[in-house]
A and B are shown apart, each in its own frame.
Chain A
Amino acid sequence: MMFATPKQLRARGIMGMNRRNVDYVAAHNPRHLYPLVDNKLKTKLLAEQAGIAVPKLLGTLRYQHDVKGLHSQLLPHEKFVIKPSKGSGGKGILVIAEREHDIYFKPSEEAISHEALERHVTNILSGLYSLSGSPDIAMIESMIEAHNIFDAYSFEGVPDIRVIIFKGYPVMAMLRLATHASDGKANLHQGAVGVGIDLATGKALHAVQHDRPIYQHPDTQRDFSELQIPDWDKLLPLAAACQEMTGLGYMGVDIVIDKNHGPLILELNARPGLAIQMANGTGIFPRLQQVEGLSGEQRTPEQRAQTSRELFGQQP
């Protein structure tokens, strides 16, 4: 069978793009809050204010003439990430893992000259990667060092964990692993692996690549059933706390686990994708309805995370 029937999908609680747009994104995310998450610089400053852990901001470049100062700004840093403040889908993110004077190296050991780095910043500033093509700001952040546990599961780059937060409650989570096929990027539509994570334990449930189930990492051949996210009890409240920070009712929170600093909020997304359902092997819709049925009393992020673990955990 090439196609499922709508009835089958409805029975599994799968949410489609149209329902997400109309009933969740449009209904729960006021438009004026979007800049808080579409602009990563704003998100970061907001998070720092709220005491939420984020990768350290090393500097920003706002205008073309700032590019001249790039060299001196980068001088004290061996490892860093340059990213556009308004980029989407991981576009325009350049990771430098090593440098020798004016030669920089990506994690893939590809060498980059200082001129190429400047060109990249110029492209960011001119808005090449921003959503609407409007002028942008380039951010320099400290590089995240992936937790050792992911060494066996990642081809390149740092795996991140996407948690869907609805009305402050975590409802679904997945781990995104870059592969050779995705060219080191953690975007599922480019061939990265999505691993559904049990909200109760942080253990892997089910994995997909190109929207089809797989059981081992395609590059490292490691079986996903052994995978357990570290610091899971710290991670969920951190994700849940983003609701208070932004006021968005339905969002995706992207979290990385740094070797030294533990879970850090990487970015937020006001229109999180639907692939998380594929990764979890189940639909998100019943869980969203369950959250809507909860009483509206004020609760702390820790309490909400605990409720979610009890409600949505699959391996008690």
Chain B
Amino acid sequence: MASRILFVTTDQQRFDALGCNGGRIARTPVIDGLAASGVRYERAHPQNVVCMPSRATMLTGQHIRNHGVWMNGVPLPADAPTVAGLLNDAGWRTGLFGKAHFEPFLDPFLRFPQNRMGVTGATNEDGHPHRGFERMEFAGHGSGGLVHYGGWMREHYPEHMMSFYPPLDGTLDVNADGGGDTGAPQVLRNPVPREIYHTDWVADRAIDWLGGLSDEDDWFCWLSFPDPHHPWDPPDSELHRVPWRDLDLPDGYPSNQTEREVALDAKGAHWRRWYDGDLVSNFEAPARWVPATLTADQVREVDAMAHIENELIDEALGRLLSTVSNRGWDDDLHVLFTTDHGEFQGDHGLLFKGPFHVDALMRLPLVWRPAPTTGIAPSVVNDPVGLVDLAPTFCMIAGIEVPDWMDGAPLPVTPEEAARRQRPAVLTEWDSVHPGGSEVHLQTVTLDGMVCTRYEAGTCHEGVEGELWDLVGDPLQRTNLWDDPVRRALRDDLVAELDALLPERPADPLRTQAPV
């Protein structure tokens, strides 16, 4: 009897994107079905809220300071240990299809192996597994980029190469151009046919690889959808699914300007400075876009586009699961679904992401549908878990001892098991040093229904500020309790816990080698 793991990730997806998490817009019956027959996690947090550090954590099972990828543009070292490598060494077949981003994207001189693979069409590194994957086929956020999807589009559908939104502008900064009906940044009407959109291509490539495996093969398949990360340019043919004019504004969007700005001022200085266009701390959002200009209609349109993309993901996943089921593999199949980080999508009056440790960016969808043969009962786990726990979970499923270099622990499958975990706290870190001169450093611990973020000294903070959020009493995170004298002892305890859990910073941090 073979063991099989389907690891499904999206990019920049909110917790409430899914029906099973209370989402009311996108129809996601496939993922909801997995949740209904598996374990749904109410509070899964990333260890960093941008792609490369978070994905490095998923692959290594390590905290940011231990794998060293502290920001986008910092490549995961070539010799970093990976869970895919462990599985492949143990005889598992391993494949990754879609967005990897373990190495920088912006790479005109092709310095990084993944970009060389994307350009040449190679599916491994000179005949050898790359980071433990024997087959890799990459996609990014559009038809461009140094990825296999771009080569496929250029070969078969050259007329649609320019149909997608260009993520970068002529200065190579994140594009701020607006589109759609509302002029929202990174929104575009895309005439590309749905069948050749990257979401379906990713599923097609995985299905093709799975078709070559035998019934006896143990396999680990990472299905990595690039959506619903911006740009928000789903195929035009699908826009009827969610008419943006019909949408209510999200609960997290303060539509009153005064209310919105008062709430921002209650947070750290970097919130309001970014909102006012006075701070560029990173390359994750368009530098030329000023969040204060975001309109309610733009929030609705972005929301609609993202949810259309969520529906396409759900359908593509369903197609792949049908293929697996037709092979008679379902009983032995573990499916884990999550994302790398969240998206504001209007919360707090903002879009995109950045140095902001609140639920919009930190509370992630996570579902584990254990193989039915395990007999694990459906459950909901409320205690916090981290993406750092994924790789150890894969080890446990595979019957491989969790190695010492992994920081996480296998995910609990019941509330009781979660309560027995030695340290139910989860860490999240942010470090950004922008060549324009700004520097922001945040360290966060989530524990006992509280999120506590300490700001280190930088160009926005003196090092004494922070955030303290009561997840139960203030789910929209409007009242910052950091300076509340009544909560001072609690804050001190959480900061002490943070210090106890944080690994040492590397003495020689890895160098940033691209903006993204």
Chains A and B come from one and the same complex:
no
